[in-house]
Amino acid sequence: MAIPSGDIFFASISELSAKLRAREFSAVELTRAFCDRLEKIGAAHHALALSLRDTAIKKAQDVDGDLKRGRTRGPLQGIPYGAKDLLAVKGQPTEWGSRAFAGQKFNEDAFVIKKLASAGAILIGKLAMIELAGGVGYGSAAASATGAALNPWDRSRWAGGSSSGSGVAVAAGLTGFALGSETSGSILTPAAYCGVTGLRPTYGLVSRRGAMSLAWTMDKIGPMCRSAEDCGLVLHVIAGADEEDPGSARKRFAYVPQFDRQVSDFTIGYAPVDFERAAPGTQAAFRAALDVVKGLGVKLKEVEIPDFPYGALVETVIGAEAAAIFEDLIRSPKLETMADPSQAAALKAALDIPAVNYLKAMRIRTLVREAFQNLLYREVDMLLTPSRMETAPPIGSLDGGDDRPIAGKRGLGDLIPAANLAGLPAISLPCGLAGGLPVGISLVGRAFFENHLIGVGRAFQAQTDWHKLKPPVTES
């Protein structure tokens, strides 16, 4: 059997699965090849927190034994993947991107890690992240124990936070797929900057048990993959009820594309101002993507999101909840070991958020949910907007010029904080290059609308090759 090389690292989950079953190569050979890339390219791009080569090879041997005996478990069987380092892996360091938690270990795998193991997926590494998933704000791309994650499209650019390593790993062909997390933008941002497909599930659809908490009422775990189809295959495995997660929605999810509605059945809301607000160099790519969506036969309707102070609400909710979660760290000398002093200072200041402010924010948040429910049930089925209004910024600056104001026009510019407050699902789809760097568009849907978001994503990607583009660094 041939040792995998070249394009195989950018193959879809279904393609890899078919080749494994056809015995074109073994799971051990595939796993070793991916581990080599992850350890070499991942480390060079500050995307690797911990290689799990030894345990991965043992798991791959078990998979080969099962496949030899005809024991199949689904399309993820034998697929090497990576997990953001906020997910616990039994007996292995899980350091949350922080020197303050160096050497920390847990006695049990995170719920999603267990589910993927049961499906036969092979965990080959813990992936780098912004320290404490961003805490309550950070001012540097280097706010991580592993340093600034370098974008594989241009090493002078940032990969995006806080699921930085996950974005790099998928974009550079270091893993078959990856797990990230989002509290307010941490799947969609690196997906857009790195040119991969990222899915943020509805709040509570995927258990957070065994994951670091940043904000109990906003944290979500989701897949970052090469395509919408791959996101569906991964979500099929990791979603579902968990009685031990208080935030679990206790709902099942099955990826069933054969039963999905026709794309032409959907009404999608968008705002022309978003395509004017985007950075000048990106507008042509976004308009081309909008033309593709129009060509799918969907009904487009101009809308604006409800008028709320989304940024202030997110800041208050995450700040108050993070301060409670990390109070012991904030009051200890270990706070001074954080990579970004501004993040440490922000955590410390968050202890002083008055309870009345948090409670007011949560009351207004209820109104946000009601407003979006009205918008997504009475006017449109989904919302479409650029995932980010700019390409990946230089490593030395996190300011990419996002969301430039246009007088008198609101559009959907605050959709990342707004939809996260409402707990709504979203998918980010690569939609081209601007100045040699990826850009992406996002679809946001009603709660538990994942199958439909993936369905539109699949239709979009059937008409484009943007999700198949490979960064130049991977050719070296």
- pTM comes to 0.97
For residues 19 and 231, give the distance between their C-alpha atoms in angstroms, rounded to a whole number: 19
Q: What are phi and psi of 308, to 5 degrees?
A: -135, 160
Residues near 156 by beta carbon (within 8 Å), at least 6 away in sequence = 150, 394, 395
pLDDT at 206: 98
pLDDT at 406: 55
Give the pLDDT confidence of 243-285 residue by residue, as tens digits.
Answer: 999 999 999 999 999 888 899 999 999 999 999 999 999 999 9
Q: Among 184, 186, 213, 227, which one carries the catalytic annotation? A: 186
Residue 6 has pLDDT above 80, yes or no: no
For residues 331 and 403, give the distance between their C-alpha atoms in angstroms, rounded to a whole number: 36
What DSSP character marks residue 222? E
**Where does 172-227 have alpha helices with state H?**
188-194
pLDDT at 398: 78
pLDDT at 408: 59
* 129 close to 52: Cβ distance less than 8 angstroms: no
Residue 84 among the catalytic residues: yes
For residues 106 and 391, give the distance between their C-alpha atoms in angstroms, rounded to a whole number: 37
pLDDT at 475: 44
Sign of CA dihedral 98, 318, 126, 415: negative
For residues 404 and 333, give the distance between their C-alpha atoms in angstroms, rounded to a whole number: 40
User: What percent of the chain stands above pLDDT 90?
Assistant: 93
Instruction: State the residue for tokens 């000048």.
Output: 280
Give the pLDDT confidence of 429-464 residue by residue, as tens digits.
Answer: 999 999 999 999 999 999 999 999 999 999 999 999
DSSP letters for 382-420: EEEEESSSSPPPBTT------S--BTTB-TTTTHHHHHH
pLDDT at 259: 84
For residue 184, which of 362, 424, 469, 394 has the smallest C-alpha distance?
Answer: 424
Q: What are phi and psi of 447, to 5 degrees?
A: -55, 135
Distances (CA, A) of 460 to 33, 290, 348, 414, 467: 31, 10, 44, 24, 10
For residues 337 and 97, give the distance between their C-alpha atoms in angstroms, rounded to a whole number: 12
Is residue 100 classed as helix, strand or coil in its secondary structure?
helix
For the chain, give the number of residues: 476
332-341: Cβ within 8 A, 24+ apart: 334/100, 335/100, 337/98, 337/99, 337/100, 338/98, 338/99, 338/100, 338/131, 338/143, 339/98, 339/99, 339/131, 339/140, 339/142, 339/143, 339/144, 339/145, 340/131, 340/138, 340/139, 340/140, 340/142, 340/143
**What's 425's domain CATH number?**
3.90.1300.10
Domain count, the chain: 1
Q: Residue 369 burial (CB < 10 Å; 0-12/13-18/19+)?
A: middle
Residues near 287 by beta carbon (within 8 Å), at least 6 away in sequence = 275
Q: Which domain holds residue 169?
A: 1-476
For residue 221, which of 192, 260, 247 has the smallest C-alpha distance?
Answer: 247
pLDDT at 220: 98
Give the pLDDT confidence of 142-166 residue by residue, as tens digits.
Answer: 999 999 999 999 999 999 999 999 9
Residue 1 has pLDDT above 80, yes or no: no
Residue 162 among the catalytic residues: yes
For residue 2, the one-letter residue type is: A
Q: What is the mean pLDDT of residues 221-226?
A: 98
pLDDT at 476: 44
Residue 175 has pLDDT above 60, yes or no: yes
Q: Annotate 35-61 with b (16+ C-beta within 10 A) or e (fewer).
A: bebbbebbbebbbbbbbbbebbbebbe
Structure tokens at 33: 């090849």
Give the pLDDT confidence of 388-412 residue by residue, as tens digits.
Answer: 999 999 998 876 544 455 555 778 9
What DSSP character marks residue 240? S
Residue 413 has pLDDT above 90, yes or no: no
Residue 397 among the catalytic residues: no
Q: Specify the higher pLDDT residue, 399 or 71.
A: 71
Q: Among 162, 184, 207, 213, which one carries the catalytic annotation? A: 162
Q: Among 17, 26, 59, 84, which one carries the catalytic annotation? A: 84
Three-state SS annotation for 313-378: HHHHHHHHHHHHHCHHHHCCHHHHHCCCHHHHHHHHHHCCCCHHHHHHHHHHHHHHHHHHHHHHHH
